[in-house]
């Protein structure tokens, strides 16, 4: 039963994006009631079956929460190490590479020693407090302050030196520290990650440079697949005349990808690098005011030369359109494709979630779905993946206790747990386990809940089929119990079967009502 309700709705939608909510029964109250029903039904399921679920888990040899596969579905490479790790790394480099030239400021070459001398601090002075990269009480509802926390010691120079791929040292230090993170992942064996690396769209060379960086420094791990994050910064480049219009930016972003797909030998390193890339993310502060509206009157990209940033939906639509075409091309050539997995519904207007629904394979955050029952119900029905990071939200947009994750999980939305920025949020060496631990404790999750979250994370991730088969079982794509192998996932069949039946019930219910109404 592989009905794609998403398409069904898009087909019916002739006049923009929001028409489908005119389905007679897709009203706010209807969806709210169905969601409440799902939540209550799940609570009933748990009350009746909790001990059976546990019993099923105990019946599986060797397998437990610690040795099932978990993927950190949303993590930024630049903040994938924790603060103590970055501090140690920087201290080591100050000691061992004091005389290396690391920057060029106004034509003058500056050594590592010199950089820190100019800041007036030496290696011994440095502490986690001085580094000051941890989100604190002052970042709540201040995405701008949060963004500046990426600058160690408040110095953008240090960010440039240590956590950029394209700098004077060819991204050497970033590669080194990232390889330490990847090596820790490999040691953990069962933990995996999908770190985001940045492409900005200021020039067509960015892709080649990034690929060259990855290959030169051999930044690669069986435990990781890359996502490419594209910040929505057209207005910045436009004001600096780096691009003339929005089409320039799209051109910089996508032309190299079409070229390398057409002829791998045109960008041989990029061709190799892309085999490790599984998707594309759109990132930035969603709460920024959007001055431009996206409707019929909005200029097409070649005509879009406004100084103001286009809205979120405009970005996402053109990324979606390009990725669709690109994927069709790549598929035809037998190459891997890219999923669009944007940040969506973290803040700002709820219409972002609508666009995410229409364009994306999965989204990151989605906390605003709590305010939009219609969309929440659609995300449920279509089981779009939502990579949630409650600790990140706790520092930025919604306190931990109010995070909707446990509610989504009860209703049966396809949610996973991710860390977002261990540098800014986490304290221990095991950021993902810390994230799971806090969720388990604060929300009193059962072992079964946790294993379900972990299984969702693997499903949502961009690891290849053969890897997922190894981790989840050969039939993982089948629906319901058929697709579950408790010996690998530690998720009881009772739970999987409950989820499947609940979803089928909802869909049946909908189609029955629809046919009654003779739509």
Shortest reach from residue 469's CB to its own copies, in Å: 22
**Whole-number minimum distance, CB 122 to its own copies, in Å?**
9
Please indicate whether residue 365 is annotated as part of the active site.
yes
* Least spacing, CB of residue 445 vs its own copies, in Å: 9
Phi-psi group of 58: left, alpha or beta (phi > 0 → left; psi -120 to 50 → alpha; rest → beta): alpha
CA distances in angstroms from 287 to 70, 244, 290, 326, 444, listed in the order given:
30, 25, 9, 30, 31
Q: What's the closest the beta carbon of residue 493 comes to its own copies, in angstroms?
A: 15
Q: In the numeric block, which tokens belong to residue 74?
A: 């949303």
In terms of Cα–Cα distance, which of 380, 405, 410 is closest to 391? 405
Whether the CB-CB separation of 224 and 195 falls below 8 Å is answered with: yes
Q: Closest separation between CB of residue 212 and its own copies, Å?
A: 35
The residue whose two tokens read 């103590």 is 84
DSSP annotation of 309: P
Please provide the DSSP assignment of 374-426 as one string.
HHHHHHHHHT-EEEE-HHHHHHHTS-GGG-SHHHHHHHT--EEE--B-HHHH-
Residue 460 CB, shortest distance to its own copies, in Å, is: 22
Secondary structure, 3-state, 211-261: HHHHHHCCCCCCCECEEEEEECCHHHHHHCCCCCCHHHHHHHHHHHHHHHH
SS (H, E, C) 9-50: HHHHCCCCCCHHHHCCCCCHHHHHHHHHHHHHHHHHHHHHHH
Query: Distance of alpha carbon 38 from its chain centroid, rounded?
Result: 26
| Token duo for residue 386 | 């939502």
Cβ closer to its own copies: 188 or 382? 188
With residue 508 as reference, give the H or E element that holds it: helix 493-516
Q: Which of 74, 267, 352, 365 is catalytic?
A: 365
In the bound state with its own copies, the residue whose beta carbon lies nearer, of 461 and 490, is 490
Structure tokens that stand for 481 in this block: 């119990």
**For residues 223 and 395, which CB has a smaller minimum distance to its own copies in the complex?**
395
Q: How far is the CB of 136 from its own copies (least distance, A)?
A: 7
Integer-rounded Cα Rg, in Å, for the chain is: 23
Q: Please state the closest distance from residue 449 (CB atom) to its own copies, in A.
A: 10
Contacts with its own copies, residue ranges (CB under 8 A): 50, 54, 57-58, 60-67, 84, 87, 124-130, 132, 134, 136-137, 391, 394, 400-401, 425-430, 433-434, 436-438, 440-442, 444, 446-447, 490
Distance CA 9, CA 25 (A): 13
Do residues 152 and 90 lie in contact, with contact meaning Cβ atoms separated by under 8 Å? Answer: yes
β-strand partners of 388: 417
> Which residues are known to be catalytic?
365
């Amino acid at each position: 039963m592989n009905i794609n309700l998403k398409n069904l709705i898009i087909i019916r939608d002739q006049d923009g994006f929001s028409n489908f909510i005119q389905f007679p029964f897709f009203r706010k109250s209807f969806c709210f009631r169905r969601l409440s029903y799902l939540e209550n039904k799940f609570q009933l399921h748990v009350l009746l079956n909790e001990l059976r679920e546990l019993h099923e888990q105990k019946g599986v040899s060797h397998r437990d929460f610690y040795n099932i596969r978990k993927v950190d579905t949303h993590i930024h490479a630049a903040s994938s190490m924790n603060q103590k790790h970055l501090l140690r790394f920087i201290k080591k480099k100050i000691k061992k590479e004091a005389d290396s030239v690391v920057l060029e400021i106004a034509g003058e070459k500056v050594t590592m020693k010199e950089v820190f001398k100019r800041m007036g601090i030496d290696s011994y002075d440095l502490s986690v407090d001085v580094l000051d990269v941890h989100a604190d009480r002052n970042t709540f509802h201040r995405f701008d302050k949060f963004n500046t926390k990426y600058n160690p010691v408040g110095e953008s120079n240090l960010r440039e030196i240590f956590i950029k791929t394209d700098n004077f040292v060819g991204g050497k230090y970033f590669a080194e520290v990232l390889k330490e993170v990847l090596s820790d992942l490999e040691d953990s064996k069962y933990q995996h990650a999908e770190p985001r690396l940045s492409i900005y769209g200021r020039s067509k060379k960015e892709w080649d440079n990034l690929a060259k960086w990855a290959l030169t420094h051999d930044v690669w791990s069986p435990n990781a697949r890359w996502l490419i994050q594209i910040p929505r910064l057209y207005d910045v480049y436009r004001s600096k005349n780096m691009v003339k219009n929005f089409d320039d930016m799209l051109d910089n972003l996508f032309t190299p990808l079409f070229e390398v797909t057409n002829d791998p030998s045109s960008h041989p390193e990029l061709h190799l690098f892309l085999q490790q890339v599984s998707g594309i993310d759109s990132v930035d502060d969603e709460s920024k005011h959007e001055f431009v509206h996206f409707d019929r009157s909005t200029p097409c990209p070649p005509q879009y030369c406004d100084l103001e940033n286009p809205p979120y939906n405009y970005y996402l639509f053109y990324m979606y359109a390009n990725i669709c075409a690109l994927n069709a091309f790549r598929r035809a050539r037998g190459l891997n494709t890219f999923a669009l997995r944007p940040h969506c519904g973290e803040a700002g207007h709820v219409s972002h979630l609508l666009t995410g629904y229409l364009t994306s394979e999965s989204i990151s955050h989605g906390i605003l779905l709590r305010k939009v029952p219609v969309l929440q119900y659609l995300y449920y029905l279509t089981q779009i993946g939502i990579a949630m990071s409650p600790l990140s939200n706790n520092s930025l947009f919604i306190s931990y206790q109010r995070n909707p994750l446990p509610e989504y999980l009860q209703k049966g939305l396809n949610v996973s747990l991710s860390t977002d920025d261990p540098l800014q949020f986490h304290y221990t060496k095991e950021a993902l386990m810390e994230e799971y631990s806090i969720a388990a404790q604060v929300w009193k999750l059962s072992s079964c809940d946790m294993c379900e979250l972990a299984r969702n994370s693997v499903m949502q991730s961009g690891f290849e089929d053969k890897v997922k088969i190894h981790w989840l079982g050969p039939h993982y794509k089948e629906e319901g119990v058929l697709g579950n192998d408790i010996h690998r996932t530690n998720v009881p069949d009772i739970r999987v079967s409950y989820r499947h039946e609940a979803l089928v019930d909802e869909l049946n219910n909908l189609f029955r009502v629809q046919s009654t109404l003779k739509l």
